[in-house]
Amino acid sequence: MTDHVIVTDDTAARIITMRRPDKKNALTQSMYITMAEAITSAQTNPAIRSIVISGGSGVFTAGNDLEDFARANAAGSDDARPMAATQFLKALAHNEKPLIGAVDGIAVGVGTTMLFHCDYVLASTTATFSTPFIHLGLVPEAASSLLAPRTMGLQRAFAMLVMGRTVNADEAREAGFVNAVVAPGHTEVEALKVAREIGALPPGAVALTRKLLRPARGDVLRRIDEESQLFGERLKSDEARNAFAAFFARKKKA
């Protein structure tokens, strides 16, 4: 387990908190593995009725740590993104527990796309959502190319996933992937209230109804694999290499 992810059980809820504040909770491969294991192990624990994913107060996540990501990709296979990230995405797809997102501050890249796997999302008034994959010469991931249009409609999904437009909390609620907007610093508290509400419901009925509401798992997994294949191919493209080189050059000058 990495020190950058804290996993705690609060009554019937498992809380997964990203805690890397100096890097705006940018996700490393070890963080992905810890979060995947926390989700997977919850599946066989009947005492855990729901899962909360949080970044604590002030930030959700800046997305992938691009330096860590680049190192992992260089050491990985030729045709797929680093395996730890895929392990996390597939844990989301296989998850059968109600999943609650608590977003306070920025949610970039996978920080936004993972929310389409959530059943209930709370956002603070300072929350923003962005998916700048195109700007890095890449394609979306986490089955977001399937789930985002299903949730928010094709046109809104195009603006976010293709044009890379940032969405604020109120716009996200209007688009349908945020349930409620709350004051900064209160998202996790409110998420636990939702978890307790879910925990008071008949578990069998909740599980079956959640399954009925969501797209077929096989469809989601196939889209994750398809996106992952294209993502790996795009990483080798001139567009992506130039975009990453420009990013690291800017970071070096900063």
- Beta carbons of 131 and 162 less than 8 angstroms apart: no
Express each pLDDT in 22-49 by its tens digit. Answer: 999 999 999 999 999 999 999 999 999 9
The number of folded domains in the chain is 1
Express each pLDDT in 127-176 by its tens digit. Answer: 999 999 999 999 999 999 999 999 999 999 999 999 999 999 999 999 99
| Average pLDDT for 48-61 | 97
Flag whether 36 is in a domain: yes
In the chain, the percentage of residues whose pLDDT exceeds 70 is 94
| pLDDT for 59 beyond 90 | yes
Per-residue confidence band for 80, with pLDDT thresholds at 50, 70 and 90: very low
Which of the 8 DSSP states describes residue 185? T
Flag whether 138 is in a domain: yes
| pLDDT for 76 beyond 60 | no
The CATH number of residue 124's host domain is: 3.90.226.10
SS3 content of the chain, % helix, strand, coil (to 5): 55, 15, 30
Centroid of chain to Cα 59: 13
For the stretch 114-152, what's the b/e string if a residue is b when 16 or more beta carbons lie within 10 angstroms of its beta carbon? bbbbbbbbbbbebbbbbbbbbebbbbbbbbbbbbbbeeb
Task: Please report which helix (H) or strand (E) contains residue 244, including its range.
Answer: helix 238-253
| pLDDT for 68 beyond 80 | no
**pLDDT for res 79:** 41
Q: Which domain holds residue 175?
A: 5-183
Flag whether 237 is in a domain: no
User: Strand order in 50-54's β-sheet?
Assistant: 5-10, 13-18, 50-54, 99-103, 120-124, 180-182
